[in-house]
Structure 1
């Protein structure tokens, strides 16, 4: 139950800002007589609604059931929901994957791994997602390049079993990602090179 509560808390945290902006924009439109201000408020509402929708669609695939047990998900759909999450201004997504379907839990792993990559690039950069292999023998590589790239400390501690801090809404995603990788038989590894960090998940 605590795990479910933390995942719910994370999702709420992710969408509360755009939903709040929608409410603010509607309030301005209701009270403001100046046409230019009303147009600005409408633009804010449209942008925030798009952001909230993107975050909810991502959460549905990355955390939700997204179909029946044993279902597969189109990788093109995975790219579609991931791109607006990554490309918000500072980051660019490069997607190198086949047009195919994949077991939903492996797609969940890929999506969560790609968003953890955002924390490796605090000043922005390029996140290159590569999917190789097929069937039960697949591998994911997420290469993160940019200024001040570094391995997120909390993720590294959890991956190495060195964290003794209680889980919270921030650490629940790396925790979930690591457990998901174990469940689908694709252990994670992370390495830092000059100018970048690489996250990998490979079939054991």
Structure 2
């Protein structure tokens, strides 16, 4: 039997593209961050590190780097044998929390399959969309699965988007909502069954 190596599955092609974009963006952001650090240490600009302009630049660069690392994990290529240490997952979650209004707590030990952490990051994005005014999320690893439990004072729930997690495409998501479709596809590819519930006070996603 001849294997056609000239074609790549649509999902894998999208993941490769995501990995490439994130990789190419991380390098210039790192260079900007290094430049900021050199300016702060330079004797020619003794007070620049305390200036609001420099702090704004440094915070923006750090935020962008954290966000891209999260995108790389969520949208990039992931194989079953890749592992993610707990410390790296913790940093990713801290980056998500720093960018928005979610308070995230991690309750998990050990290291984890990257395919699972991809699902965690995509599920977290879905919860972010449902809680634009903020809330609290606990990321729990209970063998053999994961639970992301959310609480909030106010939510915005779009049933058409959540239908994607049930395998029902009610409508095409916008670019800012694509993580719902991506989570559904990633779960199918990983052989994981998604369950979810969400109302105006919170809910959970598990797999």
TM-score of the superposition, structure 1-length normalised? 0.71
Asked whether 1:143 is paired with 2:149, we answer: yes
Whole-angstrom CA distance in 1 between matches of 2:140 and 2:121? 12
Aligned equivalent of 1:46, options 51, 58, 61? 58
* Kept in 2: contact 1:129–1:141 (CA 8 A): yes
Pairwise CA RMSD of aligned residues? 3.6
Q: 2:162 maps to which residue?
A: 156
Change in 2 beyond 3 A, CA 1:143/1:151: farther
User: Is 1:182 the counterpart of 2:192 in the alignment?
Assistant: no
The structure 1 residue matched to 2:130, chosen from 120, 128, 132, is 120
Partner of 2:176: helix, strand, or coil?
coil
Change (3 A) 1:131 1:152: farther
1:123 partner SS = coil
- Is 1:56 the equivalent of 2:68? yes
2:55 is paired with a residue whose SS is helix
1:77 deviation in Å? 0.8
Gaps of 5+ in 1: 27-34
1:89 positional shift: 5.2
On the 8 A contact 2:129/2:177 being kept in 1, the answer is no
Distance 1:75 1:56 in 2: 19
For residues 192 and 167 of structure 1, the distance between their equivalents in structure 2, rounded to whole angstroms, comes to 18
SS at match of 2:155: coil
Which residue matches 2:77?
Answer: 65
SS in 1 for 2:99: coil
Q: Decide whether aligned partners of structure 1 residues 175 and 51 sit closer, same or farther in structure 2, where only a CA change above 3 A counts.
A: same
Q: Per the alignment, do residues 91 and 55 of structure 1 end up closer, same or farther by CA in structure 2, a change over 3 Å counting?
A: same
Query: Which string of whole-angstrom CA distances, capped at 9 and with x for unpartnered residues, describes residues 63-85 of structure 1?
Result: 2236x762211132112112221
Change (3 A) 1:124 1:105: same
Whole-angstrom CA distance in 2 between matches of 1:69 and 1:197: 28
